[in-house]
Amino acid sequence: MANPWFETVAEAQRRAERRLPKGVYGALVAGSEKGLTADDNLCAFDELGFAPHTAGLSNERDLATTVMGQDVSMPVLISPTGVQAVHPDGEVAVARAAAARNVAMGLSSMASKPMEEVIAANPKTFFQLYWVGDRDTMAAKVERARRAGAAGLIATLDWSFSYGRDWGSPFIPERIDLEAVRRYAPQVALRPRWLWAFAKTRRLPDLSVPNMVGDPAEPAPTFFGAYGAWMQSPMPTWDDVAWLRELWGSDRPFMLKGVMRVDDARRAVDAGVTAISVSNHGGNNLDGTPASIRALPAIAEAVGDQVEVLLDGGIRRGSDVAKSLALGAKAVMIGRAYLWGLAANGQAGVENVLDLLRDGLGSALTGLARGSAADLSRDDLVVPPGFERRLGVEGPDAPVEAVPTRPRRARSA
Ligand SMILES: Cc1cc2nc3c(=O)[nH]c(=O)nc-3n(C[C@H](O)[C@H](O)[C@H](O)COP(=O)(O)O)c2cc1C
């Protein structure tokens, strides 16, 4: 058998593409419309350079930090994603990997495994909520998360229900019925290892979302059933954010994920959040939104001394983590990077990805003569003119520049 270890996230992605049925792989590549934002999330990191030292480098690589009240081994968290059908152990495998590496994790409302199982595998788990239903429905889910022992809540509100991709959206069945089997059969036949992983568990992916109900004893809705309920829900207001935060408990960790503007970051501070994640949902939401790393510096400058500022979007290597910290993030969250690891090699694949990010961040610290990740600063970087996007900043010095036209790389996630 070939060595299951991979040396970069790009290799994990290649293996995931070979291993997963086309539709499942396509659901992880995701992106929306023309893919401008998903691409910019990656390209923007390539525009940032380093300013390394030659001698006087540090032997220390202090990466440990505290995020949302949790002591963690490095400033990298697992971002919440619905990992339907990627691997039979799904989010439980991810949680075990995160626990093995002392890393905190966000668990999606759209996840395939019940929060109780995931939190048992990694107590450093924050439960992520979308705004679905009314306040009573939300309160029931918050209560379930509290009973299950979630270490914090993540509210994700940046979703505008856009659909359609120029490269085609994958077919996602409502449930695994005869029609789904017929449509998926040709793809699945080409991916026997993926099928075998599920066959060993005597279960096919059922595509249900067990965390969308307030009572774990209730039947889990299907992915599309939950998505429909979400679409019909009233859009949440800033008062709703403050209400949710208060309901969870003002002394308990609470993150608002998906902030791209300075004015919204200030409103999040007013709502009493512990942390925000500067994020555009991995380029899966409103296409044309700039890369989150471009929006980070202005937001970190405005609110970084009042709340923990995290970043997610486009992190594929340890040097991306270093660049994010140098521009003001306390930590980053990863999405596709660990999904490729999970698809390539289950729990060990996620651990492999976390190890690559740790080593890459460590190398950046060595080269930049920093003993601690917390010491990284903008002086360590080459930031080209016009790199930043200062969104939601009032005043004449706040241009909202267009995304520069540059040759786009081939679509990859
Ligand atoms: C397949 C997929 C599913 C996702 N599902 C969720 C979700 O359920 N909840 C959420 O808050 N974010 C979700 N996200 C966004 C991620 O949490 C994160 O913001 C994004 O993946 C970061 O970008 P990256 O993939 O480039 O690391 C999802 C992303 C992907 C790729």
Distance 335 CA to ligand 1 centre (A): 5
What are the tens digits of pLDDT across the range 173-186? 777 776 777 777 78
Residue-level pLDDT at 399? 52
Q: What's residue 84's pLDDT?
A: 73
Give yes or no for a contact between 305 and 335, defined as CB atoms under 8 angstroms apart.
Answer: no
Lowest mean pLDDT among 75-84, 162-171, 304-313, 332-341: 162-171
Q: What is the pLDDT of residue 182?
A: 73
Average pLDDT, the chain: 93
Judged by DSSP in three states, 344 sits in helix
DSSP annotation string for 49-61:
EE---SSS--S--
The 3-class SS string of 146-215 reads HHHCCCEEEEECCCCCCCCECCCCCCCCCCCCHHHHHHHHHHHHCCHHHHHHHHHCCCCCCCECHHHCCC
281 catalytic? Reply is yes
- 410 band by pLDDT with thresholds 50, 70 and 90: very low
Check if 315 has its Cβ closer than 6 Å to any atom of ligand 1.
yes
pLDDT tens digit sequence for 41-100: 999 999 999 999 999 999 999 999 999 999 999 999 999 998 678 999 999 999 999 999
| Phi and psi angles of residue 389, each rounded to the nearest 5 degrees, phi first | -125, 115
Phi, psi (5° rounding) for residue 392?
70, 30
Q: What domains are defined for the chain?
A: 9-169+206-382 (3.20.20.70)
What number of residues does the chain have? Answer: 413
The greatest distance separating any two alpha carbons of the chain, rounded to the nearest whole angstrom, comes to 65
Given this model, what pLDDT does residue 103 score?
98
Residue 220 has φ and ψ, to the nearest 5°, of -75, 135
> Considering only 5-9, 148-152, 198-202, 363-367, which range has the smallest mean pLDDT?
198-202
pLDDT of residue 396: 53
For residues 408 and 69, the answer to whether their CB atoms sit within 8 Å is no
393 or 207, higher pLDDT: 393
Give distance in angstroms: CA of 53 to centre of ligand 1: 35
Is residue 263 predicted with pLDDT exceeding 60?
A: yes
pLDDT computed for residue 406 by the predictor? 52
The rounded distance, in Å, linking the Cα atoms of 136 and 140 is 6
Q: Of the residues 245, 281, 294, 336, which is catalytic?
A: 281
Higher pLDDT, residue 22 or 405: 22
Ligand 1 in reach of 365 Cβ (< 6 A):
no
Is the backbone of residue 30 left (phi > 0), alpha (psi -120 to 50) or beta? left
What is the rounded CA–CA span in Å between residue 159 and residue 284?
A: 8
- CB distance 44 to ligand 1 below 6 Å: no
What pLDDT shows up at residue 111?
Answer: 96
Indicate the top mutation candidate among 81, 153, 169, 227 to test ligand 1's pocket, ranked by most ligand atoms within 8 A of CB: 81
- Split at pLDDT 50, 70, 90, the class of 188 is confident
Q: Which amino acid makes up residue 119?
A: I
